[in-house]
Amino acid sequence: MSAGNRKFRKILIANRGEIACRIIWTCKEMGIRTVAVHSDVDRDSLHVRYADEAACIGPAPSAQSYLNIPAIISTAEIFNVDAIHPGYGFLAESSYFAEICEACNIKFIGPKASVIRLMGDKVEARRAMKAAGLPITPGSSEPVTSEEEALQIAREIGFPVIVKAAAGGGGRGMRVVRSADELGAALETASTEAAAAFKDGSVFLERFIDKPRHIEIQVLADEYGDCIHLGERECSIQRRHQKLLEEAPSTVLSPQLRAEMGAAAVNACKKIGYSSAGTFEFLLDQDNKYYFMEMNTRIQVEHAVTEMVTLADIVRNQIRIAEGEPLGYTQDDLMIVGHAIECRINAENPETFAPSPGRITAFNLPGGPGVRVDTYVYAGYMVPPFYDSMIAKVITHARTRDLAIARMKRALEVMVIEGIKTTIPLHLKIMDDPKFRAGDISTGFMEEFLASEGQRNPISANASRA
């Protein structure tokens, strides 16, 4: 340890599932002891087994366990941990939780609470990023207060526009509006949805970009103002704003554009005093212009594709940075080798997307060159109905995108999960889709794909059409 004298002996992981396992794996490699917390239905979960110590912190519902801040802090104090890694979801972007950790002298592995709070408010984040020089989509910089105001703004930026929840995410509180007469109703539904989902009905307006790509830049920043980016991820394959499949690199980013977007993200990090790993999400329009959407101030599900093409361990870097270590890399150290794809395997009906919890009766993972599987389930495991349906991530890596696709296809073909339904068949179909294979994708891909599959998908259609 060079700086800060903050080397961790023990970390509590305030999460479950594959990301909890993922964090424990890296802690083991670093010689750091781990404490798992779990709900009472998760007693048999692998993160509990893998951790050096574990405590049951509450019943199944997240609000009483994985979101139960007093129980988590109590456990951290009882086990005398140095730091808490929040993973993704649950408390990962709770500035309140980060603050409590700080107050308790437990290092929160992530950026400062104030930065989390800033980037957690979409309106504030847009304002800050605009000030930091990032291009943003034309739109209201404040929540709209009336239909009249909204109409005026919409006319300024031009239809179609999109109404978004200020506190939002996950597609809730979002409506595309193609003409003035649709605006009133859209504002009302979006605001109602936002209020229900986030307890905050504020909405704002933005220009709607047709068939954009979702491109995000991974950054690593230390506590001394040093920052680099690790290139981009292509995450356009989404359903109802939930990513299904991610790639690195994107087929449409030239080295110049990558360098430009990367530099813009790095510059923004420095402006807001960001530290830890983070992700800038951009929309890329059909002319390859990019617009800042939002920043995720945490590790992401899809971090693995970046790890495959860069050989970096992003979780290790998060921990090192939180320990007070300087970054130790310069932008010139970045090397992107080959192409990586990640498929999220969810315990869902691959046609209706209905959750499919239950007991896994047979389980077999793909192996061989260029295949990585991050999972927390095993033969005999009971997938509980209480949490996120993602049970595994399959990542393939090869010299070219074509080979990475061929590798993904065979990996999914030999992957066996019986007893529950999973999205494996869906991903297999995507691998065979001519547009996907050609790299001709946008955030509208899945809607078209599912329509051509003859699927009814009313909710998704609703969310992005009107």
Partner 1 sequence: MKDSESQSVAKVERKTRETVAPESQGVRERNPSRQPKPEPSVNMDELRELIALLRENGLAEFELEREGFRVRLRRGVEYDPMETRAAPAPSTPTEAPKTAASATGSPAPSHPGALAQTAASEDQGLHIIESPIVGTFYRSRSPNAEPFVKTGSKVEHDSVVCIIEAMKLMNEITAETHGEVVKIYVENGQPVEYGQPLFGIKK
Residues lying near a copy of itself in the complex (CB under 8 A): 18, 21-22, 24-26, 28-31, 46, 50, 304, 307-308, 311, 313, 337-338, 362-375, 378-380, 397-399, 403, 406-407, 409-411, 413-414, 416
Count of other CB atoms within 10 angstroms of residue 197: 17
Residue 40 or 333 having the CB closest to partner 1: 40
Indicate which residue of 233, 298, 320, 344 is catalytic.
298
Does 408 bind partner 1 (CB under 8 A)? Our answer is no
Does 48 bind partner 1 (CB under 8 A)? Our answer is yes
Report the C-alpha gap between 459 and 447 in whole angstroms: 10
User: What's the one-letter identity of residue 16?
Assistant: R
Report the C-alpha gap between 174 and 190 in whole angstroms: 6
Element (H, E) at 460: helix 458-465
Instruction: Tell me which stretch binds partner 1 (CB under 8 A): 66-74, 115-123, 165-173, 195-203.
Output: 66-74
Contact set for partner 1, span 418-457 (CB under 8 A) = 418, 422, 424-425, 428
Is there a catalytic annotation at residue 410?
Answer: no
Residue 20 or 119 having the CB closest to a copy of itself: 20
What does the block give as tokens for 446?
């899945």
Q: Say which entry of a copy of itself, partner 1, none residue 424 contacts (CB below 5 to 8 A, set by partner kind).
A: partner 1
In sign, the C-alpha dihedral spanning 355, 358, 363, 368 is positive
Report the C-alpha gap between 396 and 463 in whole angstroms: 31
Q: CB 422 → a copy of itself: shortest distance, Å? A: 16
Q: Say which entry of partner 1, a copy of itself, none residue 304 contacts (CB below 5 to 8 A, set by partner kind).
A: a copy of itself
Contacts of 70 (CB under 8 A, 6+ apart): none
Q: What are the E-state strand segments in 26-160?
A: 33-39, 53-58, 83-85, 107-108
Does 80 bind partner 1 (CB under 8 A)? Our answer is yes
Q: CB 246 → a copy of itself: shortest distance, Å? A: 15
Q: CB 433 → partner 1: shortest distance, Å? A: 14
Q: Are strands 390-398 and 339-346 parallel, antiparallel or unpaired?
A: antiparallel
SS3 for 248? Answer: strand
What does the block give as tokens for 454?
């003859």
Q: Could you tell me which of 66, 446, 406, 466 has the C-alpha nearest to residue 244?
A: 446
Q: Would you please indicate which residues are annotated as catalytic (active-site) residues?
A: 298
Judged by the rule CB under 8 A, the positions of this chain that interact with partner 1 are 9-10, 28, 33, 39-41, 43-46, 48-61, 64-65, 70-71, 73-75, 77-80, 100, 103-105, 349, 352, 354, 359, 361-364, 378-382, 384, 412-418, 422, 424-425, 428
